[in-house]
Amino acid sequence: MVIQKKKIEFFETKLVDFFQKSGRVELPWRKKGINAYEVWVSEIMLQQTQVSRVISYYERFLKKFPTVQKLAKASWEEFLPYYQGLGYYARGRNMLATAKKVVTEYQGVFPANATELRLLPGVGEYTAGAILSFAYGQETLAWDTNLKRVIGRFFYGDKKAEVDMRFFETHLKTKRKILNAALMDFGSSICTGRPKCNTCPLASKCLYLQEEGKQEIRTKKQEEIFALSEAEYATVILHEKHQKYFSSLTKTYRPFNLPRGYTTRGAIKDWFLQKYGLVVAVRPSHARKIVGQEKTLLVNAQILTGEQSFSVFSKQAVKEYNKDSL
């Protein structure tokens, strides 16, 4: 597939313009002069957690642990009150392990190359790219799901396309610190799972839109026969006595899509307890579907105890979602 230079230039120009007008430059981890430790803290906290939820945690955390040296000295008991509520406690333990490793093996300075960064516990390709770009000013792309989705749709017509990463590393000319931030914001606000094509500044040259999303069209939902033990994912409808339905999004109802492997009733209970501090009752799966190519269970769960700040939706909103989705 040949990608024309003019299309690349159009892509970059529109993205930079979008970022200048609508970029979330006020976020605390977008400040000038941010260091590698501060970038790392933000990126770890942002993994599978909404930006609005992370801001207060991030600011409070850095007041308590302003440097990697301070964090490296902390015990789990000292660390936990400043992390608790973000969930995924293995992620928290990796933070402590990484801090100690940076102090003992790198003299308190995060490595400035991807190979060594990815040796740190919990640091993958994307987090390494973000540190190199935002903290060290290196010209590398941070390949997160937003970036891959935007590039995949615009140039290939499919968010899950096999993107030639080396090609884009070479041919995209915009400063990576700006381009990475623009792609993150664009992918989380415009080119989302359900893209807002009618407001998209890239629409006129987007292959996804030109093809009317045909490469992403999934077969209409249909019952698939697979054993419970073969399930890979669970989609959970969280409710209170089937009168109030909850979503982590504010404007549009979406159920909770759990990470891979959380498919048993016990695992689902553990996930809500660890991530949100909620005790829930989980009903047996009421349907099994193939979503994309992923074997997914559909599950209802009711909150028993615990405080939450989710958005509340009606049963009608859930029905409309079910009609349009899976």
Band (145; pLDDT cuts 50, 70, 90)? confident
pLDDT (tens digit per residue) in 159-205: 888 888 889 999 999 999 999 999 999 999 999 988 999 999 999 99
Q: Average pLDDT of 136-147?
A: 91
Tokens of 228: 């419970």
Query: What SS3 string covers 106-138?
Result: CCCCCCCCHHHHCCCCCCCHHHHHHHHHHHCCC
Q: Average pLDDT of 88-103?
A: 92
Q: Average pLDDT of 276-285?
A: 90
Q: Which of 21-25, 71-75, 282-286 is least confident?
A: 282-286
pLDDT at 286: 79
pLDDT (tens digit per residue) in 101-141: 999 999 999 999 999 999 999 998 899 999 999 999 999 99
Band (324; pLDDT cuts 50, 70, 90)? low
Tokens of 322: 């079910």
Tokens of 242: 């089937």
CATH number listed for the domain at residues 228-324: 3.90.79.10
pLDDT at 221: 38
Is 50 exceeded by the pLDDT of residue 220?
Answer: no
Band (319; pLDDT cuts 50, 70, 90)? confident
| 9 belongs to the catalytic site | no
Catalytic residue among 9, 26, 38, 43: 43
Q: Average pLDDT of 264-289?
A: 90
Q: Check if the beta carbon of residue 238 is closer than 8 Å to that of residue 310.
A: yes
Q: Where in the chain is the domain with CATH 1.10.340.30?
A: 5-189
Q: Which parts of the chain fold into alpha helices (H)? A: 5-22, 36-46, 51-64, 68-72, 76-79, 89-105, 114-117, 125-130, 145-151, 165-171, 176-189, 207-210, 265-276, 315-324
Question: Nearest CA to 92 among 105, 77, 112?
Answer: 77
Is 50 exceeded by the pLDDT of residue 223?
Answer: no
Q: What is the rounded distance in angstroms from the CA atom of residue 206 to the CA atom of residue 14? A: 12
**Average pLDDT of the chain to the nearest whole number:** 90
pLDDT at 243: 85
| Check whether domain 5-189 has CATH 3.40.50.300, yes or no | no
Higher pLDDT among residues 207 and 194, named by residue: 207
pLDDT at 224: 45
pLDDT at 225: 59
% of the chain residues with pLDDT over 90: 68
Q: Check if the beta carbon of residue 176 is closer than 8 Å to that of residue 138.
A: yes
Is 60 exceeded by the pLDDT of residue 74?
Answer: yes
Where does residue 199 rank: exposed (0-12), middle (13-18), buried (19+ CB within 10 A)? exposed
pLDDT at 77: 94
Q: Where in the chain is the domain with CATH 3.90.79.10?
A: 228-324
Is 80 exceeded by the pLDDT of residue 1?
Answer: no
DSSP characters over 251-302: SS---EEPPTT--SHHHHHHHHHHHH--EEEEPPP-EEEEETTEEEEEEEEE
Other C-beta atoms lying within 10 Å of the C-beta of residue 52: 8
pTM for the model stands at 0.65
Q: Average pLDDT of 25-43?
A: 95
Q: Average pLDDT of 21-48?
A: 94
